[in-house]
Structure 1
Amino acid sequence: MQTRSGADITVHGAVVAKLHRPGTDPRALRVRLRAAGRISALLSPLSAMPEAVDGRWMSRWPLAETLVAQPECVPWVAIGQLLAALHTEPVTRRLPAHGWPARLRRAVVLTRRHRADVVIGDRDRIR
C-alpha cells in the first residue's frame, strides 16, 4: 500500500514495514522514532534506528488495529483518553517539523506545475 505522501507500507506477519518517502531526513526520522518509543501512549517502533533500503529509509512497527473510517464507530472516549495521556507527557525537546509543511509545499509546487489543468470554481485559474 502506498500513502498519499509517497511512503510504502507492507505487512509481514505481525510487523508493519514503512519505507518512508524519498527525501526523508534520516536524522529527523530517528528523533521522531525515539520520541514514539519514549511516549507510552504511542505505538512504539520496533527500533529507533531506521534502516537504509535502496536510498530510502525504513522503519518497522508492530501490527496494530486501526480505526474504521465510519464516524458512528469511532471510539471517542478512548480517543479522549489518549489525547489526555499525550498532554501529560513532558516536553523534553522540540521535535522536527513533520507532515503538513512539506505536504503543503509539494502541493503548491505540483499545482504550479499543472496550473493549466487546475480550475477553481467555474472561471478562475491558478496563475
Structure 2
Amino acid sequence: MTTADVLPQLTAKVTAAAHPQSASPCVCGTTTLADRPDTTVLRHAATVAKAHAPGTDPTALALRLDTAADLPEVFLAPLGPATLVGSRPVTFWPYGRPVDPDDPAAAPWEAAAALLARLHRTPPAPATPPMRGPAKAAHAMARLRGTLAAEGPHPAAPPVLRAWSALPAWARAEAPMPGTPTLCHGDLHLGQLVRHPAPDGAWRLIDVDDLGVGVPAWDLARPASWFACGLLPPDEWTRFLTAYRAAGGPAVPEDGDPWPALDVPARALTVQTAARYLAKALAADRPLDEVEQSLIDTCARMAPE
C-alpha cells in the first residue's frame, strides 16, 4: 500500500480515535507530522496515529506496545492495540509536545538519561523481541550500496564501507548481541522525547519500533557518536552521561572511562548516520554539507586505508 493510499484511511482512523463519542462531523484539522515510505504519522486534535513500515511483524509490535503500556513512567502509553490500514499496522497515541529544535540550550539531556537508565534497569519480559538498532544500521548500509549501484561510485563511500567492515559481526546484525539482554529503546535521539500531555508535562520516550532486548550502550551511542565527531558540545555530552550514571544506568561503569563500553555502538551509529546522509546526498545529486562531511571524515579515521 502506497503513502497516497494510506493517508485518506489514516485520516479517517485518527479522526475517529480522537472523537470516539461524537456523532457530529468533525471541524478539527489533521496535521501530517511525518510522511516517509516507511512511516506516516498524523495528528488530529490530541491524538496521533502512526502507520508503521510495510512488513512490520504484528506480533513483535504487539509485544513492544505491551512493554510501553507497562512502563508509563518511561514511555508515552499507546491508546490501545494496533489496527490495520490495508496491510500496515497503525497505532494511536496521545499527542505530546516535542523538543524544540530551535532551543538547543533547553535540550532535555538529563531527562533522556534518566528515562534510559530506568528503562535499562527494567527486567524484560521473556518474549521481548531483539532491539533493532544493529538491524537498522545494516539497513542503512544496504540502502547505501543500492544507491551506489544505481548512481555510480562516490569518493566518500570507501571510508564508510571500510568502517562498516571493521565493526564486529553483532553490530552489523550478523550475530547475536553480546552480554546480558537488557531492555533498550533502540533508536534514542532527542526527537524521541515528548512532553506528557498531563498537567505536569514530564518528558516521556516515544517510538517503540526498535524497542527490545540488546546492548544498552546502543541507546547512548548516538549522542556519543555526535560528541566524538565534534557535533555535540562537550558540556551537553557530560550532562547526559553524568545524569545517566547518577540514575544508575548499567550501560557504562559508575565512574572512570565509559568508552570501552561505548566504542562499538558509537562507531556503528557513526557509520549508520554517514551511510544515510551519503545515500540521500547521492540520490539528490548534491554535495555533502559540513555535518555530513564530518561524519565521513570520522569514518575515515575509524578505518584508515
TM-score, shorter chain, exceeding 0.5: yes
1:121 is aligned to 156
| TM-score of the superposed pair, with normalisation by structure 1 | 0.78
Q: 1:95 to 1:71 in 2, by over 3 A?
A: farther
Give the unaligned 5+ runs of structure 1: none
Whole-Å Cα distance in 2 between the matches of residues 122 and 82 of structure 1? 36
Whole-Å Cα distance in 2 between the matches of residues 56 and 122 of structure 1? 33
Please, which of 82, 103, 110 is the counterpart of residue 77 of structure 1? 110
1:10-52, CA deviations, whole angstroms, 9 ceiling, x for partnerless residues? 00111110000111110000000000000122111001x2101
Query: Would you tell me which structure has more strand in proportion to its own residues?
Result: 1
Indicate whether 1:43 and 2:76 are aligned.
yes
What SS class does the counterpart of residue 61 from structure 1 fall into? strand
Whole-Å Cα distance in 2 between the matches of residues 80 and 104 of structure 1? 22
Whole-Å Cα distance in 2 between the matches of residues 72 and 114 of structure 1? 36
Decide which structure has the larger Cα Rg and report it: 2
| Structure 1 outlier segments of 4+, above 6 Å | none
Give the unaligned 5+ runs of structure 2: 1-33, 162-305
Q: 1:80 to 1:57 in 2, by over 3 A?
A: same
Whole-Å Cα distance in 2 between the matches of residues 109 and 87 of structure 1? 29
Please, which of 97, 102, 112 is the counterpart of residue 65 of structure 1? 97
Query: Would you tell me which structure has more helix in proportion to its own residues?
Result: 2
What SS class does the counterpart of residue 114 from structure 1 fall into? helix
Q: 1:1-127 maps to which residues of 2 (within 5 A)?
A: 1-3=34-36, 6-40=38-72, 41-47=74-80, 49-69=81-101, 70-93=103-126, 95-116=128-149, 117=151, 118-121=153-156
User: What is the alpha-carbon root mean square deviation over aligned residues?
Assistant: 2.7
Whole-Å Cα distance in 2 between the matches of residues 76 and 34 of structure 1? 26
The one-letter code sitting in structure 2 at the alignment partner of 1:61 is W
1:91, CA displacement in angstroms? 2.7
Q: Which has the larger displacement, 5-14 or 83-92?
A: 83-92
- What count of residue pairs does the alignment treat as equivalent? 124
1:80-113, CA deviations, whole angstroms, 9 ceiling, x for partnerless residues? 3323432443333352134433323332332222
Identity fraction in percent: 32
Q: Which has the larger displacement, 62-71 or 115-124?
A: 115-124
Q: 1:55 to 1:77 in 2, by over 3 A?
A: same
Whole-Å Cα distance in 1 between the matches of residues 99 and 83 of structure 2? 28
Q: 1:111 to 1:83 in 2, by over 3 A?
A: closer
